[in-house]
Amino acid sequence: MDPSSPPPDVAKQMTTTVTDLDDIRARLTNWMSQQTGTDVRIGELTRPSESGMSSVSILFDATWSEDGTEHHANLVARIPPDDTAFPVFPSYDLRRQYDVIAAVAAKTSAPVPKLYWIEESTAALGRPFIVIERVDGRIPVDNPPYVFGGWLLDAAPEQQRQLQDTSVEILAAIHALPDPQTTFPAMAEEAGDDALRSLVDAQRAYYEWTRREDGLRIPVIEETFDWLEAHWPADPGETVLCWGDARPGNMIYDGFTPVAVLDWEMCTLGPREVDLAWMCFLHRFFQDIAEVFELPGIPTLFRPDDMIATYEKASGHTVGDFEFFIVYAALRHAVVMSQVKRRMIHFGEDTEPATHDEYVMFHAMLRGIIEGTYDWSGK
């Protein structure tokens, strides 16, 4: 099978928020002129085909004058999805994302795009939005997953390892942000005295939100919640800023080194292992899809032992209870995927499955993880 032509089930297109780019261009031009106090010229707008599930990204370039000097910038406007677009998540906190990116830029060595503006009203575009720098580079794509083809799959093993190590080192840099409870008081209030308990409870609330209309119970998800309760860490460790959606598909790379960390919608406070396990799990999720279709993928990438060794060296922190956090990562993804399945059924892009477990695309993998039969070694 040609990796550049993934199987139909993998390459399914999902309905996303549709926007009138000409209208947005006119509105953005007017709004930016007000922000800068001068005439602004905006070039052609484009929208990446993969945007729109958790947010809409609009790419554009702009030119304006300031203090007699002409400024030109390549920019991105990030807009929350439309309320009518069958949302995957119950809320979207744009201000939180903006403040976290600002703090990461100011207080850590992790690379993030330059922030330009935030507009919290709906007057300009009908939705709030932020405008950030557009960073040049390349991204390992998610749809179809990078394990099916592309520059990362084609790279030499040592280059793939460089990408892995530098990506894990970014996590250590983010987690080094000092005193996150003081920096992010709202997130600190959510975390309370037990950040891990608050995170798992929030996942339960999210799961209940996804089934609020159909009442559908998914056995493998509920069994995973039970597994977590039965294997709770004795010491979850210190609370740090967690990126939340830590994966190579949310980073821009120059060669095989990250130059920008994107997509902070899922940022939170919690144990360090939350991010590390999420990055590990998401790769194995993609790798398993490749192996189902008898493609090689990249089985040696993001293996737990390798990631842990790199992270411990970069952070000086000893990783604990990694199996628990892998299961927690799998649970998070399972709830998201169950809502994505509902969304695709809603838009006529998929049909109702034969069993409730099949609302989770990787239900067999998840069951293997909680039963201890899943092989994490890579082949």
146-196: pLDDT as tens digits: 999 999 999 999 999 999 999 999 999 999 999 999 999 999 999 999 999
Q: What is the pLDDT of residue 51?
A: 45
The SS3 of residue 126 is coil
Q: What is the pLDDT of residue 82?
A: 74
Q: What is the pLDDT of residue 314?
A: 98
By CB atoms closer than 10 A (0-12, 13-18, 19+), residue 207 is buried
> Which residue is listed with tokens 């987690």?
175
CA distance 175 to 269: 10
314 sits in which H/E element: helix 304-315
Q: What is the pLDDT of residue 16?
A: 46
CATH number of 146-371: 3.90.1200.10
Domain coordinates of the chain in residue numbers?
21-133, 146-371
Asked whether the beta carbons of 248 and 141 are under 8 A apart, the reply is no
Q: Kindly report the CATH class assigned to 21-133.
A: alpha beta
How far, in whole angstroms, is CA 145 from its chain's centroid? 14
List residues with catalytic annotation: 245
> Which residue is listed with tokens 């947010």?
55
Query: Assign residue 255 a region: left if phi > 0, alpha if psi is -120 to 50, beta otherwise?
Result: left
Q: What is the pLDDT of residue 91?
A: 84
Asked whether the beta carbons of 341 and 353 are under 8 A apart, the reply is yes
Q: What is the pLDDT of residue 5?
A: 47
Asked whether the beta carbons of 255 and 198 are under 8 A apart, the reply is no
Q: What is the pLDDT of residue 194?
A: 97
pLDDT beneath 50: ranges in the chain: 1-5, 8-9, 11, 13-16, 51-52
The SS3 of residue 11 is coil
Q: What is the pLDDT of residue 90?
A: 85
Q: Cα–Cα–Cα angle for 304, 306, 311, nearest 5°?
A: 90
- β-sheet bridge partners, residue 66: 69
State both tokens at 58: 């609009």
